């Protein structure tokens, strides 16, 4: 009886050991990059649909940077490869895209191009410990986890910088504020803008949503006496608002937005030159620059892809690739064993997190001495970019 019990206990112990080993093996992340011959950068973005102008610019610019790095010899002779998947600005596609990229050998990523998909992307990136530096997903929650970083200004930061500008230029006046109440991007910028606005600046606030996005006559009438109108919205509703406001809003008024206005000049069916007011935006990039790194980038981009998709998101993506490459190079130069072509995404993530939170800086098309806070937010200078000068005199 005792012998039988000893045998039973031994069998149970073996079974428990097997179960533990199996669990440990199951919990160990697979290195999908084990057979890589190039460092693989993954990206998901809208290559089709209404937001395609953003995704196309990001994909084009990232590829241009990869081509240049490879032509210069890559990292110690190892080249880079960019893999881009279309997500149509639809967060429900991200799970499939992420899995495809990871299983295809992705070791580092530019995340997703737009905010809602990127907020989905970040969860899978956290679970697999994949480092990502997004060029354009500006929602404040995108870099929620320690493996996520932004090259673009976060929405809250855009709101603060926009308020700083308004405080300096509109003190003692009443300005109009036009935002989209059911859009996280618009609300995020608006909330921070209001929070940082001086008491000397009064506001006439009016909003719209998906159900009221075709007729802005009421909102226009509310702001008809405002000489400055802040619009933290995307370029499509902005173009409709400005078109409907002709003859009502004073011709010498100023329309001022954030990065959502980028793409306005290349929007099909809309000619910004027909708008009499000044149209401007907070930006990290001047697409009409004639000197410096930005001018060189513009020349190369237009020669390769034309002007239709030239915007700040592409410029930001170009900087993203070079920032990642620069951080990898710095780590490699400090310890050549720390960066190698078959390393897992998780291993490279730890290397890059150490760099990006350890004082690493870079300069590029969208700024000089670019750095990052531990929360993933970028530090660089924003400027007011005039999309179109005022032509009216009313």
Average the pLDDT over 37-46 and give the result: 98
Residues linked to residue 362 through DSSP beta bridges, in sequence order: 370
pLDDT number for residue 383? 79
Mean pLDDT of the region 330-336: 97
**Residue 54 — φ and ψ, nearest 5°?**
-75, -50
pLDDT (0 to 100) of residue 27: 40
Q: At what angle do helices 345-356 and 312-334 cross, to 10 degrees?
A: 100
Q: pLDDT band at residue 385, thresholds of 50, 70 and 90?
A: confident
Q: For the chain, report the end-to-end CA distance as a whole number of angstroms.
A: 104
pLDDT value for 177: 98
Question: What percent of the chain is helix, strand and coil (3-state, nearest 5)?
Answer: 45, 20, 35
Count CB neighbours of 231 within 10 A: 26
Give the per-residue pLDDT at 246: 96
Give percent of the chain with pLDDT exceeding 70. Answer: 92
Residue 4: its pLDDT value, please?
A: 47
When pLDDT is cut at 50, 70 and 90, the band that residue 285 belongs to is: confident
Owner of token pair 């190039």: 38
* Beta pairing partners, 44: 85, 112
pLDDT at residue 287 tops 70: yes
The confidence score (pLDDT) of residue 16 equals 42
Longest dimension (CA), the chain: 105
Report pLDDT for 23. Answer: 38
- In this prediction, residue 303 has a pLDDT band, given cuts at 50, 70 and 90, of very high
- How much is the average pLDDT of 305-311? 91
pLDDT value for 392: 64
Q: Does the pLDDT at position 165 exceed 70?
A: yes
Tokens describing residue 358: 């350890």
* Lowest-pLDDT range of 21-35, 140-154, 171-185: 21-35
pLDDT band, very low/low/confident/very high, at 393 (cuts 50, 70, 90):
low
Mean pLDDT of 146-175: 93
Residue partners of 286: CB distance under 8 A and separation at least 6 = 294, 383, 385
Residue 213 scores a pLDDT above 90 = yes
47 is written with which tokens?
Answer: 């290559």
Check pLDDT > 70 for residue 83. Answer: yes
What was the pLDDT predicted at 325?
98
Q: pTM for this one?
A: 0.78
Q: Got the DSSP string for 257-288?
A: E-GGGTTGGG-TT--GGG--SEEEEEES--TT
Q: How confident is the model at residue 28 (pLDDT cuts 50, 70, 90)?
A: low
232: closest CA among 193, 284, 279, 189? 189
CB 209, CB 180: distance < 8 Å: yes
Backbone conformation region of residue 390, classed left if phi is above 0, alpha if psi is from -120 to 50, else beta: beta
Distances in Å between the alpha carbon of 7 and those of 1, 2, 3, 10, 13?
A: 10, 9, 6, 5, 10
Write down the pLDDT at residue 248. 97
Find the helix packing angle between 292-305 and 52-71, rounded to 10°: 100
Across residues 293-308, what is the average pLDDT? Answer: 95
Identify whether the C-beta of residue 351 lies closer than 8 Å to the C-beta of residue 338: yes
Tens digit of each residue's pLDDT (9 = 90 or more) over 58-75: 999 999 999 999 999 999
């Amino acid at each position: 009886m005792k012998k039988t019990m000893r045998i039973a206990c031994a069998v149970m112990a073996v079974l428990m050991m097997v179960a533990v080993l199996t669990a440990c093996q199951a919990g160990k992340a697979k290195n999908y990059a084990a057979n890589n011959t190039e460092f693989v950068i993954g990206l998901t973005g809208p290559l089709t649909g209404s937001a395609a102008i953003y995704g196309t610019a990001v994909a084009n610019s990232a590829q241009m940077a990869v081509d240049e790095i490879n032509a210069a010899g890559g990292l110690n002779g190892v080249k880079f490869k960019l893999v881009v998947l279309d997500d149509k600005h639809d967060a429900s596609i991200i799970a499939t895209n992420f899995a495809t990229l990871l299983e295809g050998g992705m070791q580092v990523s530019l995340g997703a191009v737009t905010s809602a998909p990127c907020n989905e992307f970040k969860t899978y990136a956290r679970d697999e410990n994949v480092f990502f530096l997004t060029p354009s997903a500006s929602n404040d929650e995108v870099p929620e986890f320690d493996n996520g970083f932004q090259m673009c200004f976060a929405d809250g930061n855009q709101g603060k910088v926009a308020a700083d500008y308004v405080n300096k230029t509109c003190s003692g006046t009443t300005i109009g504020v036009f935002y989209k109440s059911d859009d996280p991007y618009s609300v995020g910028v608006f909330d921070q803008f209001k929070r940082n606005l001086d008491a000397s600046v009064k506001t006439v606030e009016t909003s719209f949503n998906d159900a009221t996005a075709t007729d802005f006559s009421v909102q226009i009438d509310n702001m008809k006496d405002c000489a400055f109108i802040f619009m933290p919205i995307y370029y499509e509703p902005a173009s409709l608002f400005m078109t409907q406001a002709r003859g009502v809003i004073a011709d010498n008024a100023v329309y001022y937005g954030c990065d959502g206005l980028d793409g306005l000049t290349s929007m099909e069916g809309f000619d910004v030159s027909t708008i009499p007011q000044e149209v401007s935006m907070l930006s990290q990039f001047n697409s009409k620059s004639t000197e410096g790194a930005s001018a060189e980038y513009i020349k190369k981009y237009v020669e390769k892809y034309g002007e239709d998709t030239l915007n700040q998101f592409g410029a930001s993506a170009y900087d993203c690739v070079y920032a990642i490459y620069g951080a990898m190079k710095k780590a490699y130069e400090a310890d050549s064993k720390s960066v190698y072509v078959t390393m897992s995404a998780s291993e490279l993530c730890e290397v890059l997190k150490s760099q990006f939170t350890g004082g690493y800086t870079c300069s590029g098309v969208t700024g000089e001495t670019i750095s990052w806070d531990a929360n993933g937010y970028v530090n660089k200078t924003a400027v007011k970019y005039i999309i179109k000068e005022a032509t009216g005199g009313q």
